[in-house]
Amino acid sequence: MLDLQQLGYRYPGSPAPALQDISLHIQPGECIGLLGSNGAGKTTLLSLIAGLIQPQQGSLRWQGHNAIGLVPQSLAFHARLRVSENLQLFADLYRLRGSERQHQLEQAIDAAQLESLLKRTAAQLSGGQQRRLNFALGLLQPAQLYLLDEATVGVDSANRQRMLQAVRSLADNGKAVIYTSHYLPEIEQLADRVLLLSEGRLLLDQRLQEQPAQQFSARWADTIPQALVQLCHDRHWSCSQQGNQLKLELSDPQQLQELLQLLASQPAPVQLDYGPASLEQLYLHSSGGQL
């Protein structure tokens, strides 16, 4: 759908590039979480994709139609107009007509839960309600790719869940989504692929289902059974011990089988966890501890 090849961008007068050497391919139906600390280049990347700024290096190629729905980080609506008037204005802007117009309006109002706010002017809305209006206006546009820049900042958790559901269903209906947030659980819930930017470079591009490592962790009431420590040592598995807790990264199902076999003959742990490494662990590991 969209190919970025060695994209680079430096703001005029800025000493360092905001983005360099960014290559990626975006496919229909992908929900991509875009992570990075403040100033990492997330908004710049979305602006390049949206065509708001032009790349100075590299190329950006669309296959097919390049219709984009944008939910910008800075609120973009008319403060003096009512919520309903803003929605109608943007529907005009996107040239929506007839049943498509009706459908898009209903969906956007529902996704942002705006029914009870339609008559208020945008200026009269709270911060979180304004964020929801901003979200609805971006979703209103029929598009192949949606770019959402910190779309849920300041929104309460019930409304945020509704918004995340709406974003997820865009991807489930074959639209591509790029979603930035500093809130990792949100990305973990939503995204099937994660990009991590650091100082303008793409540090990580990972599908979440393909995370290779599984995290095994067990804690005992008194001490870690020596036989277990010995097994890790003999097999050269890298494990870490903290007090009565043992943590291991497993890359092979066979390892888990061996571990469990041994565990069955040892004192039972008081706590046992096994599962994919969390996004937070992955993020901390890739970014060298920067959140």
**Contacting residues toward ligand ATP, per CB under 6 A:** 11, 14, 18, 36, 38-44, 73
Q: Report d(CA 239, CA 247) in Å as an integer.
A: 6
Could you tell me the smallest distance in angstroms from the CB atom of residue 82 to ligand ATP?
Answer: 29
- DSSP one-letter string for 29-77: T-EEEEE--TTSSHHHHHHHHHTSS--SEEEEEESS---EEEE-SS--S
Could you tell me the smallest distance in angstroms from the CB atom of residue 182 to ligand ATP?
Answer: 7
Could you tell me the smallest distance in angstroms from the CB atom of residue 281 to ligand ATP?
Answer: 21
Residue where the block lists tokens 């590991």: 285
Residues 6+ apart with CB under 8 A from 180: 33, 34, 35, 36, 42, 43, 46, 73, 148, 149, 150
Q: Report d(CA 62, CA 3) in Å as an integer.
A: 6
Q: Which two tokens stand for residue 63?
A: 């296959």
Q: Name which of 18 and 108 has its Cβ closer to ligand ATP.
A: 18
Q: Name which of 153 and 208 has its Cβ closer to ligand ATP.
A: 153
Q: Name which of 43 and 152 has its Cβ closer to ligand ATP.
A: 43
Could you tell me the smallest distance in angstroms from the CB atom of residue 19 to ligand ATP?
Answer: 7
Q: Report d(CA 121, CA 184) in Å as an integer.
A: 33
Q: Name which of 36 and 269 has its Cβ closer to ligand ATP.
A: 36
Ramachandran angles phi, psi of 273, nearest 5°: -130, 140
Could you tell me the smallest distance in angstroms from the CB atom of residue 39 to ligand ATP?
Answer: 4
Q: Name which of 44 and 86 has its Cβ closer to ligand ATP.
A: 44
Give CA separation, 26 vs 19, 29, 51, 174, 262, in Å.
18, 9, 16, 12, 44
Q: Name which of 74 and 116 has its Cβ closer to ligand ATP.
A: 74
Could you tell me the smallest distance in angstroms from the CB atom of residue 42 to ligand ATP?
Answer: 3
Q: Name which of 255 and 287 has its Cβ closer to ligand ATP.
A: 287
Q: Are 29 and 176 in contact (CB under 8 A)?
A: yes
Q: Name which of 39 and 55 has its Cβ closer to ligand ATP.
A: 39
Could you tell me the smallest distance in angstroms from the CB atom of residue 44 to ligand ATP?
Answer: 3
Q: Which two tokens stand for residue 82?
A: 């009512």
Q: Are 136 and 112 in contact (CB under 8 A)?
A: yes
Q: Quote the DSSP letter at residue 238.
A: -
Could you tell me the smallest distance in angstroms from the CB atom of residue 192 to ligand ATP?
Answer: 21
H or E element at residue 3? strand 2-9
